[in-house]
Structure 1
Amino acid sequence: MSFKIAVSARDGRTILPKGEKYITLADKDATVADLKRGIADSRPELYTARQRLTTVAEKGKKGTVLEDGKKLAEYGLTNGDTVVFKDLGPQIAYRAVFFWEYFGPLVVYSLFFFFPYLIPEEHGFAQKAALTFWVAHYAKRIAETFLVHSFGHATMPIRNLIKNCSYYWGFAAFIAYFINHPLYTPPSTLQTVLALAAAFTCTLSNLRCHLILADLRSPGRGGYSIPRGFLFDYITCANYTAEIWSWLFFSLATQSLPALVFTLAGAGQMAVWAAGKHQRLRKLFDGKEGREKYPKRYIMFPPLF
């Protein structure tokens, strides 16, 4: 028996061609993903990654976002019911965005170092050491993008690519220009060596944190659990902590104000994300009805935050 679902925009207009109102599905066990594919078949430009579907909002309540893997019946949808469609706009894969975010700074910084017509300068030890850390850091990020990280969503709006690349590429040029400038005054060799050793240690700690988080998403874990082990026993967003400290030590190793500005800008954004994640974990693991209680931990930057 066929199963029909009406699809409309938030203003009530149908989004299907030729004034059609319904998408016809095979049966009542159809999933949200089946419905999205039906919409995409009807309007190919609205591929499934561009679609967000919700139930019709009731008075005083927002509609519920429909998740791909669930059946329509799980949301109480029956034959002839309506779902609300939103076009998320052109999308791009998360991994593609992350790759270009990180590949760009690696290239941009290297251009300022290797091409003397940009900045005619014989590089000293601090500048060579800074390049080594910079390249290693972003090479690690690219490797993690393909080998470690998993993403809750496959895509994001393509406008994020421009915004994120502008941030990373722009800061790379800003930092590289001043560190490789003929008037740059490096710190002592001892300061550079000790601070970069600490920065590399923090970078490896960040990798360790990411491996712990990746394990939480591995098959067979049976849902999300509280991150544990290493720095996570004390800090909710330990990966952010290690990331921030790595750039603080890089700023010290290069004695670079632009690098410190970059560090503080990133730390501010990570603090917002960390506070949100800490709140979600405390709400999810509230110790009620048999649920585990989230342990007392710093959010991101002990002992201040």
Structure 2
Amino acid sequence: MKLVIQSRSGREVVPGGVQVDDGATVRDLMQAFHKLRPKYYPSRQRFSLAPKAGEKRGVALVPGKKLSDFDLRDGSVLTFKDLGPQIGYQTVFFWEYFGPLLVYAAFYLFPEVFYPSFKSIPTKSPVQTLALAYWSFHYAKRVAETYLVHRFSHGTMPLFNLFKNCSYYWGFAAYVSYFVNHPLYTAPSVQRAQIALGLAVVCQLSNFWCHRILANLRPPGSTEYKIPRGFLFNYITCANYTMETWGWILFGVATQTLSAFLFILAGFTQMSLWALAKHRRLRKLFDGKDGRPKYPRRWVIFPPFI
């Protein structure tokens, strides 16, 4: 069958359309389109059905499905959108997490480079060393999870996200480390730091277990949503974000720095937006109608407030 491919403005992208087999999948369509338009490799393509009356945009075609699943026939019209240059999720995650490992440690190990106005650098306090250990543990865990735990429903993201995400993580790593490792830093009690960071490690291990649960919800490449169950997910929709938040709150308590709490505030704000969106999506998908399960009553991210 031959499919008509148009831009969102209605311009025909491929004169004459794209020829595919009747039993072709969405991925087959992407490969065929790529041969005709080599610039647009499959991961930067998105095809959608024509929007229905009253809709602003049509249903997007899912790569894992057949074209027949969307009731496409010979002469059907699809809308094409160029998603722009893409980069793999694992690559982005690696650099956004590996960078803070190096950046934070650099301020600790080479203070003469970052604090040149000080002729002599005081000996590091145990709290500063504990803070480095926790920070390194957290981001080493993140890197390991990227390759050993996480399953991505999409293989790529826009290339711009690499620079945006790295700017956030690397920038905050420098900001926090600059003040925690400053020669004039006044450390709180070692005992408080040990207790706080010990609890923070427990939060990070809980966060890891939450990620394991999420990874096992669906097979690789699947976009099907399921209700997370088990451990803290029985009470909180985004329990992984909850544990992440508490881990960094405890880091702020241990280091007693404003920069650490600003880092927490920025991260929690973004995670809350993601969590609220996911909570709404799950409640809409699992509405208890037509045989679908009903999403249970849960906190979103931060009991007892959100």
Q: Residues 223, 5 of structure 1: CA spacing in aligned structure 2 closer, same or farther, 3 A cutoff?
A: closer
Q: Residue 271 of structure 1 corresponds to which residue in structure 2?
A: 272
Q: Residue 127 of structure 2 corresponds to which residue in structure 1?
A: 126
Shift of 1:223: 5.0
| Partner AA of 2:44 in structure 1 | R
Q: Residue 254 of structure 1 corresponds to which residue in structure 2?
A: 255
Q: Residue 9 of structure 1 corresponds to which residue in structure 2?
A: 7
Which blocks of at least 5 consecutive residues in structure 2 are unaligned?
A: 116-120
SS at match of 2:54: coil
Shift of 1:275: 0.9
- TM-score scaled by length of structure 2: 0.94
Alignment partner of 1:84 is 2:79: yes
2:62 to 51, 61, 67: 67
Which blocks of at least 5 consecutive residues in structure 1 are unaligned?
A: none
Shift of 1:222: 11
Shift of 1:21: 2.8
- Conserved in 2, the CA contact under 8 Å of 1:112 and 1:180? yes
| Partner AA of 2:66 in structure 1 | K
CA distance in 2, matches of 1:207, 1:70: 32
Alignment partner of 1:53 is 2:47: yes
Shift of 1:74: 2.1
Shift of 1:115: 1.2
CA distance in 1, matches of 2:290, 2:52: 29
- Conserved in 1, the CA contact under 8 Å of 2:203 and 2:246? yes
Residues 121-143 of structure 1 show CA distances to partners (whole Å, capped at 9, x for unaligned) of: 42110110000000000000000
Q: How does 1:101-120 map to 2 (within 5 A)?
A: 101-118=96-113, 119=115, 120=121
| Partner AA of 1:5 in structure 2 | L
Shift of 1:7: 1.2
SS at match of 1:92: strand
CA distance in 2, matches of 1:49, 1:222: 15
CA distance in 2, matches of 1:228, 1:73: 33
| Partner AA of 1:10 in structure 2 | R
Shift of 1:200: 0.6
CA distance in 1, matches of 2:229, 2:17: 48
CA distance in 2, matches of 1:293, 1:56: 31
- Conserved in 2, the CA contact under 8 Å of 1:8 and 1:21? no
Q: Residue 198 of structure 1 corresponds to which residue in structure 2?
A: 199
CA distance in 2, matches of 1:224, 1:12: 33
CA distance in 2, matches of 1:238, 1:102: 21
Q: How does 1:1-305 map to 2 (within 5 A)?
A: 3-16=1-14, 20-25=15-20, 27-61=21-55, 62-118=57-113, 119=115, 120-218=121-219, 223-305=224-306
Alignment RMSD = 1.6
CA distance in 2, matches of 1:9, 1:234: 45
CA distance in 1, matches of 2:226, 2:83: 30
CA distance in 1, matches of 2:234, 2:205: 17
The percentage of counterpart residues that share the same residue type is 54
- Conserved in 2, the CA contact under 8 Å of 1:121 and 1:180? no
The number of residues matched between the two structures is 298
